[in-house]
Amino acid sequence: MTAIGKVPLVGLAVAVALAVLPTAALATEVEFNKATEDNTHFTVSGGEAVMILWGVENVICEKTTGTGEFALEGGTTKSKTGTINLTLTKCTTQLFGFNCTTTGQPTGTIQTQNLTFHLVAIEKGKPGILLTPNDNTGQFAKFTCFSINVTIVGNGIIGHITAPACDKNSASMTIVFNKMGEEEEEEQSPLTIDEDEETEYTSEAVVGEEEAGKSIFINESTSTLTQGEALLTC
């Protein structure tokens, strides 16, 4: 057991830790009303973020911000992918209140690495987003809590796009990564989209010298284009 300490998840109703998508599921896209570089940039704003680190203490951050950019498909005003960087502030461990900090950031600030995102169809009429780790490091984020190093790894984190609805124009997009709620089971069945071809996406936390354990990211944030609107097609 690390110095962070183990905590039971009593009373925490946790959403799915494992999601399954078909490898050909990248069918959701946005189409911008203006094909300019400025129109593809966005900012991120959200509230509390929770990182559940299975077997050790959870990390809770009070605020979520970030920036990102859609990558236009060659010669078009459409995009299915891009890059995003998230900043989580006032981050502490749940039980003991240790600050969790990424090297080079202010105390209590966790900075993700530069991540790639893909717009996906979780199921018909239900768009989502798939975050994949940094191309060079294979990591989502790295930080330290009370001198214990924590590295978030894995092949993908999936969120639901709850607004706008499909085939609607909007300057913003609301994304929910998992949820805590009284009616949700502690561990649900994997999310299945296509029974013929599936890819499992998971995230894990490497804490100190411990073996990698399951990790869940819980957050709701809104991404807003710096100018203009885009049509969400799904």
Does the residue 56 lie in any domain?
yes
The domain in which residue 100 lies consists of 19-233
Does the residue 7 lie in any domain?
no
Residue 42 has a pLDDT of 94
Does the residue 118 lie in any domain?
yes
Residue 10 has a pLDDT of 26
Does the residue 189 lie in any domain?
yes
Instruction: Tell me the C-alpha distance between 115 and 224, whole Å.
Output: 17
Does the residue 12 lie in any domain?
no
- Strands, DSSP E only, in 72-114? 78-79, 81-93, 100-101, 110-111
Residue 37 has a pLDDT of 58
Does the residue 224 lie in any domain?
yes
Q: Over the stretch 196-227, which tens digit does the pLDDT of each residue have?
A: 446 778 889 998 877 668 888 999 999 999 88
Residue 36 has a pLDDT of 58
Tell if the pTM clears 0.85, that is, is over it: no
Tally the domains of the chain. 1
Residue 164 has a pLDDT of 92
Low-confidence ranges of the chain (pLDDT < 50): 1-3, 5-26, 35, 180-197
Does the residue 4 lie in any domain?
no
Does the residue 48 lie in any domain?
yes
Q: Over the stretch 150-166, which tens digit does the pLDDT of each residue have?
A: 999 998 998 999 999 98
Q: List, as one string, the DSSP characters of 30-44.
A: EEESS--TGGGEEEE
